[in-house]
C-alpha cells in the first residue's frame, strides 16, 4: 500500500476515534491535513508523513519509579480494576501501555501493536532501540506491550506502567524508552518506596529521573510520590522520613515538581495511635485526591497541547523552514549565476579570438552574415554551435554541483535534516528557472492557506474555552457543545 494511502487511513481512523472520544479535536485534524498539503508542496514533508502523527493525541500519563514502590497497586486502585500484577519484587520487566477497551476482558497485545500504530505512544520505538542497541530493535516485544482494560477511568487517556529501576546498571535501550516516554507524557508520576528510602535503586532513580528533569521547560509535569508511608507510623519521628526524602531530592537539584505521600489503606500496617492514624489518613486522602485530579486534568491539557502543536508547526514553516529555504535558494542562484557569468566571459573571449582568426572583423565592424559564414567559415559555425551546447550542458552541471555542495553545508542537522534536504532538492530540479526567488510551493495561495489555519487555531481555542470554562456563569449545555463540535472549517464555503 502506498505511504500516502497509509497516512490517509491513519488520519481517517484518528478522526473516527476523536468523534467518539474527544469531538472538540476532530476538526483540528482537518487543519493538520491542510498544513500537510502546504508542507508537501514545499517539499519539506514527504509522502506518508503528517504533522498530525508526530505525537499521541490521547492524554498520556507515565508511572515510573523503583521496584516495589507500589506503582502497580496504585494503578489498580485508580482504575478500580485488578489489572497489574503486584508484589515486593519485580513482577513485570516490560513497559505496559494501558488503553481503554469496550470489551469486558483484558487483552495483552505484543509490542508490535505499538511500534506500528502512529495513534499510540512508542510508535516506531523499535528504531529508537536500534540506535542504541543494534540488533535489538526487532525484539520490540521484549520491551513493550499493550494492555486493554474496560475501566472507565482509562477512557480518553493512556497510562504507561514502567518496569522498576534497580541498583544495577540499566540497559541503554530501557533508558532510551524511558526518556522517550518522559518526552511524550503530559504527566509523570515518579514513585519511591518509603520502606527503603536509602537503597541503591532510589539513588539510581534520583540520578536519572530527577537530575535530568531539573532544567526541563516542562518540569512541572513531574509528581514525586513517596508511597507506602504507613510504615513510617512506627518510627519515633515519622515526619523525619518524609523530610529526609525531600532533602535527597533537593541534593539532586530538584527545584520543580510536587511532593506527595500516600499508601494503600487496604494493605496498610495497623496504626495503633488513633490520632496518628487519622492524621495519616487525612494526608493520604488529600494527596491521593490531588494526584487523581491532576490525572483527570491532563485530558484538558492535552487538548490545548494538540492545538499548540498545530500552531508550532505553522510557525516552524514561517519562521524556520521558509527562511532557510530562501537563504539556500539565494545562495544557490548567486553562485550559479556567478559561474555562468565566468563561463559567458570565457565564451566571449573565445568568440573574439575565433572571429579575429577568421578575419570577420573590418576595423570595429563585425561581419557575421549567415550566408557568408556558411560559405566561408562553416567550421566556425559548427564550433560555435558546439560551444553553445557545451555552455548549456555546463549550466545544468553547475546547478547540480552547487546545489549538492550547498545542501551538505546549509541543511540543518538534527531529526529534520532529511526534510530540509528533500526541500532543497525540490527547489533545484532542472525545470525550475534559476531566476525564481520564491521557494517551490510558496506563494500567495500558500500564505493565505497558512493564514486560514492560524485563524482556525483561534477558533479552536475559543471552542475549547467555551467547553471547559463558563466565565459568564450561563451554564451552557455541554452536551450541545459536544454535539456541535468545534467546526469552524465546516462553515467555510468551498
> Taking a C-beta distance cutoff of 8 angstroms, is the pair 48, 9 a contact?
no
The contacts of residue 264 (CB under 8 Å, 6+ apart) are 70, 73, 74, 77, 228
Task: Tell whether 28 and 106 lie within a shared domain.
Answer: no
| 318/89 Cα distance (integer angstroms) | 52
Inside any domain, residue 205: yes
| 52/384 Cα distance (integer angstroms) | 56
The pLDDT mean for the chain works out to 79
Inside any domain, residue 9: yes
Inside any domain, residue 11: yes
Inside any domain, residue 304: no
Q: Tens of pLDDT along 221-248? A: 889 888 888 877 776 666 677 777 777 7
Task: Tell whether 217 and 127 lie within a shared domain.
Answer: yes
Which residue is associated with the grid cell 573565445? 350
Task: Tell whether 98 and 33 lie within a shared domain.
Answer: no
Closest by CA position to 188, among listed 121, 285, 242: 121
Instruction: Annotate 231-252 with DSSP letters as a single string.
Output: GGGGSSSHHHHHHHHHHHHHHT
Task: Tell whether 207 and 103 lie within a shared domain.
Answer: yes
Instruction: Annotate 150-169 with DSSP letters as a single string.
Output: --GGGTT-EEEEPPPB-SSP
Inside any domain, residue 315: no
Q: Tens of pLDDT along 358-414? A: 676 776 776 655 555 555 555 666 766 777 787 788 889 999 999 999 999 999 988
Task: Tell whether 459 and 436 lie within a shared domain.
Answer: no
Task: Tell whether 65 and 37 lie within a shared domain.
Answer: no
Least confident of 208-212, 290-294, 397-401: 208-212
Q: Of 254, 270, 286, which marks where a domain is finished?
A: 270
Q: Tens of pLDDT along 455-485? A: 999 999 998 888 777 655 555 444 444 444 4
Inside any domain, residue 291: no
pTM score? 0.71
Inside any domain, residue 35: yes
Could you give the C-alpha distances from 494 to 38, 445, 489, 490, 491, in angstroms and in order?
17, 15, 10, 9, 9
Task: Tell whether 335 and 266 lie within a shared domain.
Answer: no
Domain count, the chain: 3
> Taking a C-beta distance cutoff of 8 angstroms, is the pair 250, 259 a contact?
no
Q: Of 249, 270, 291, which marks where a domain is finished?
A: 270
C-alpha cell at 110: 505484543
DSSP 319: I
Looking at per-residue pLDDT, the higher value among 178 and 438 belongs to 438
| 486/473 Cα distance (integer angstroms) | 21
Print the domain residue range for 255: 56-270
Task: Tell whether 345 and 328 lie within a shared domain.
Answer: yes
Name the pLDDT band for 2 (thresholds 50, 70, 90): low
Inside any domain, residue 251: yes
Task: Tell whether 345 and 401 lie within a shared domain.
Answer: yes
CATH number at residue 241: 3.40.50.300
Task: Tell whether 408 and 482 lie within a shared domain.
Answer: no
Q: Tens of pLDDT along 32-49? A: 999 999 999 999 998 888
Q: Tens of pLDDT along 107-127? A: 888 888 877 776 677 777 777
| 105/99 Cα distance (integer angstroms) | 12
Task: Tell whether 93 and 9 lie within a shared domain.
Answer: no
Task: Tell whether 43 and 81 lie within a shared domain.
Answer: no
Q: Of 247, 270, 293, which marks where a domain is finished?
A: 270
Closest by CA position to 450, among listed 19, 20, 23, 39: 39
Which helix (H) or strand (E) element contains residue 144?
A: strand 144-149
Q: Is the pLDDT of residue 258 over 80?
A: no
Least confident of 3-12, 70-79, 437-446, 483-492: 483-492
In Å, the largest CA–CA distance within the chain is 122
| 194/280 Cα distance (integer angstroms) | 14
Amino acid at each position: 500500500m502506498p505511504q500516502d494511502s497509509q497516512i490517509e487511513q491513519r488520519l481517517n481512523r484518528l478522526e473516527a476515534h476523536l468523534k467518539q472520544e474527544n469531538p472538540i479535536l476532530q476538526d483540528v485534524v482537518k487543519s493538520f491535513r491542510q498544513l500537510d498539503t502546504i508542507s508537501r508542496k514545499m517539499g519539506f514533508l514527504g509522502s506518508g508523513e503528517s504533522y498530525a502523527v508526530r505525537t499521541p493525541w490521547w492524554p498520556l500519563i507515565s508511572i515510573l519509579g523503583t521496584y516495589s514502590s507500589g506503582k502497580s497497586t496504585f494503578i489498580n486502585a485508580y482504575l478500580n480494576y485488578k489489572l497489574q500484577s503486584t508484589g515486593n519484587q519485580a513482577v513485570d520487566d516490560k513497559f505496559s501501555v494501558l488503553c481503554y477497551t469496550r470489551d469486558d476482558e483484558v487483552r495483552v497485545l505484543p509490542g508490535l501493536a505499538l511500534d506500528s500504530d502512529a495513534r499510540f505512544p512508542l510508535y516506531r520505538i523499535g528504531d529508537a532501540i536500534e540506535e542504541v542497541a543494534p540488533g535489538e530493535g526487532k525484539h520490540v516485544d521484549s520491551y513493550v506491550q499493550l494492555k486493554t482494560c474496560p475501566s472507565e477511568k482509562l477512557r480518553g487517556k493512556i497510562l504507561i506502567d514502567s518496569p522498576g529501576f534497580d541498583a544495577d546498571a540499566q540497559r541503554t535501550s530501557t533508558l532510551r524508552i524511558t526518556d522517550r516516554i518522559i518526552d511524550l507524557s503530559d504527566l509523570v508520576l515518579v514513585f519511591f518506596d518509603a520502606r527503603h528510602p536509602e537503597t541503591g535503586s532510589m539513588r539510581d532513580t534520583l540520578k536519572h529521573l530527577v537530575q535530568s528533569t531539573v532544567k526541563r521547560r516542562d518540569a512541572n509535569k513531574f509528581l514525586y510520590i513517596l508511597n507506602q508511608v504507613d510504615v513510617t507510623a512506627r518510627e519515633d519521628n515519622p515526619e523525619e522520613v518524609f523530610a529526609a526524602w525531600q532533602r535527597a531530592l533537593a541534593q539532586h537539584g530538584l527545584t520543580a515538581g510536587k511532593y506527595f505521600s500516600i499508601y494503600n489503606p487496604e494493605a496498610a500496617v495497623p496504626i495503633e495511635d488513633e490520632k496518628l492514624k487519622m492524621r495519616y489518613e487525612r494526608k493520604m486522602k488529600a494527596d491521593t485526591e490531588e494526584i487523581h485530579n491532576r490525572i483527570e486534568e491532563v485530558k484538558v491539557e492535552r487538548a490545548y497541547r494538540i492545538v499548540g502543536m498545530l500552531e508550532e508547526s505553522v510557525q516552524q514553516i514561517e519562521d524556520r523552514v521558509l527562511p532557510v529555504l530562501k537563504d539556500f535558494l539565494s545562495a544557490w542562484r548567486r553562485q550559479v549565476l556567478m559561474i555562468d557569468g565566468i563561463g559567458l566571459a570565457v565564451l566571449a573571449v573565445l568568440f573574439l579570438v575565433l572571429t579575429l582568426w577568421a578575419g570577420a572583423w573590418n576595423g570595429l565592424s563585425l561581419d557575421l552574415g549567415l550566408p557568408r559564414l556558411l560559405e566561408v567559415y562553416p567550421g566556425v559555425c559548427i564550433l560555435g554551435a558546439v560551444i553553445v551546447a557545451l555552455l548549456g550542458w555546463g549550466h545544468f552541471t553547475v546547478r547540480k554541483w552547487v546545489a549538492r555542495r550547498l545542501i551538505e553545508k546549509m541543511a540543518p542537522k538534527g531529526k529534520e535534516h532529511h526534510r530540509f534536504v528533500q526541500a532543497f532538492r525540490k527547489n533545484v530540479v532542472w525545470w525550475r528557472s534559476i531566476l525564481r526567488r520564491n521557494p517551490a510551493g510558496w506563494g500567495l495561495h500558500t500564505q493565505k492557506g497558512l493564514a486560514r489555519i492560524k485563524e482556525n487555531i483561534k477558533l479552536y481555542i475559543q471552542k475549547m474555552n467555551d467547553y471547559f470554562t463558563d466565565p459568564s456563569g450561563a451554564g451552557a449545555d455541554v452536551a450541545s457543545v459536544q454535539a456541535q463540535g468545534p467546526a469552524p472549517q465546516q462553515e467555510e464555503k468551498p
